[in-house]
Amino acid sequence: MMHNTIKYCTVCGSKTQQLIPDGDERLRHVCTECDNIHYLNPKIITGCLIEHDNKILLCRRAIEPQAGKWTLPAGFMENNETCSEGAARETQEEANASVSGLELYSLYDIPHISHVYMIYRARLASPEYSPGVESLDVQLFDKDNIPWQELAFSVIRQTLISYFNDKKSGDFSLKTGIITAEMKSLLTIKPPGF
């Protein structure tokens, strides 16, 4: 769910109003009492694409949105951590898996929901994994068994397509792109060639 509204000031608890502050160009939620300006900015989601025994680790989501669907271990970056630390932390939380050798692989913008996804290629530090509290299941999938029609998010679908295409050449240079709302309709379709 999107949270695009801040009704009450996070500093003093008074009501906010929407106005364009001096020197700004956008409507902001500004406190009617203390004039605190609440900026709403994009969120970074960071996670890992784990390669093990020629397979990819996917988590089946236990929580909304998209409960029951499969995804890469990933989540919102926290304050005071690096992006790669966040990716490793989310992997630990969702898959009880320790990772090493993180290399940034994809950076996708999702402007219609103000998200940025950063996914790192990584290896299991030890061959152990199990569902964390936010996962129903964690499994390794080879290319032929990826549950394409049960993936949670377009950005994950796009990342996996890029990864398996790159696997042919061995060139895993950084992938970038924009994920649009319309791409959601592709989630029910197996990508051509897979």
- Residue placing its CB nearer to Zn ion in the complex, 11 or 19: 11
Burial 100-129 (b: 16+ CB within 10 A, else e): eebebbbebbbeeeebbbbbbbbebeeeeb
- Per the structure block, which two tokens stand in for 32? 């009617």
Residue 124 in contact with Zn ion, rule: CB under 5 A: no
We find the least distance from the C-beta atom of residue 33 to Zn ion, in angstroms, to be: 5
Residue 67 in contact with Zn ion, rule: CB under 5 A: no
We find the least distance from the C-beta atom of residue 168 to Zn ion, in angstroms, to be: 56
Whole-number Å distance between alpha carbons of 43 and 37 = 18
Q: Tell me the CB-side half-sphere exposure of residue 51, using CA atoms within 13 A.
A: 15
- Residue of the chain from 31, 57, 59, 74 that contacts Zn ion (CB under 5 A): 31
Q: Provide the 3-class DSSP secondary structure of residue 187.
A: helix
- How many residues sit close enough to Zn ion to count as binding (CB under 5 A)? 8
Residue 11 in contact with Zn ion, rule: CB under 5 A: yes
Residue 34 in contact with Zn ion, rule: CB under 5 A: yes
We find the least distance from the C-beta atom of residue 37 to Zn ion, in angstroms, to be: 10
Q: Name the DSSP letter for residue 165.
A: H
Residues lying near Zn ion in the complex (CB under 5 A) are found at: 9, 11-12, 14, 31, 33-34, 36
